[in-house]
Structure 1
Amino acid sequence: MKKDAVAYLNTRKKGDFAAQQSEVENYCKYRFRIVEIFRDHRANATPPEKRKGFAAMLEYCTVNNCSEIIIYDLADLAKDMDSGLAALKTLNDRCTVYCVNNDFFGHRDDPELRREAVGNFIAYMDRYRESTRKAAPPASKKTKRGDGRPIGRPRALNEGQVEALLTIRQAGTSISQICRMFDISRSTVSKILADYPELKGEWKGARQEPAE
């Protein structure tokens, strides 16, 4: 028997809604019955809790006792990683969250274990978020200008964030998704993965060798 569920889409381009709605419906075909679809458009810079569609979805779930939420993609939940994780925690505290794309949590048929897996992921990421807040190591005298500013470009990610990046890459998250989650370029990810060839994957635009 299918479970009732709501879907939340955070779209960015004009044709995203129709395309994502189709993928959501295909994902839910044998498992869920979508009763409502909530949507925010071009709201990536706004924290999820301040979006009309996101707030309406939470209210609907509370009033109607709906415990299953389908999102299109975890990395599309918010542009900022802290906001995205906070929103995921809010959803996981109330409901069971499923992702149409790049779902690395598992336990799709066991809501209790799935929520535990999502909670463990959030707790793991929180460790590194907390360590980054405590302060980055001060720049040495050799790396400062006369006015006190550091010489050169600052590092895109600190050690804790790099560890978090490697973890979610090992879990199967795509490089494009990682770029959006950490707000970094693809070349930065490639540099970080240079020492981990098993995690680099193949470029979609890899050049084909000419046929003999």
Structure 2
Amino acid sequence: MAELLVVRHGQASFGADNYDRLSEVGHEQSRLAGEALREAGWVPDRLVTGTLERQKETLRSMGFDAEPEQHPGFNEYDFHDLLHVRFAGQVPEAVKGERKTHFRTLRETILDWQKGGCAGAKESWSEFEARVAAALAFATDTSARRVLVISSGGVIGQLVAQALAAPKPMMMELNLQVKNSSMTRFVFSGPRFFLNEFNATPHLAPKDRAGLLTYS
């Protein structure tokens, strides 16, 4: 069977005006992830990213130089838009800047979105599900044996939940666990698609790299 390795982008710029860029830590996480794959002899023969800058920067820092394909289905859901709708344009400052409050609100908002809440958002939950499924079909409709995808936490959570036929809320529980630059591996053959490994960070395992482990 062929392999689909989905890597979450490196740490982005939390709290900055432009979140969609990697931090210095994010670039280092990505570099180490690429280095670990090459040391293991795992070299992709197809590269795919979403269209977000933090995803494209991650791939570049990983050191794989071939021109990637892009599919917007691998982009993260627009949490800022969902918050704007939920709070009628008045998002509390604590949600923007305090990590604990931010992630608690993230979980509550996505669970509500899954149930049909956040009416008026740019994207409904069913539309998110559909585009992630389309992105998966795009990435696995190939003769390539090793496909590397750079995506985001919500999409990875949804792919894992889909592979396990898990209830909708499980996507959010998985999403919150996904570490920056982590590797989630699937195997596939035609329509058959299975989870093989979730959220692995062997490149961050050494003690002297403990400070590089991040979630946002």
Question: TM above 0.5, one fold?
Answer: no
Larger RCO: 1 or 2 (CA < 8 Å, sep 6+): 2
Task: From the CA coordinates, give the structure whose radius of gyration is larger.
Answer: 1
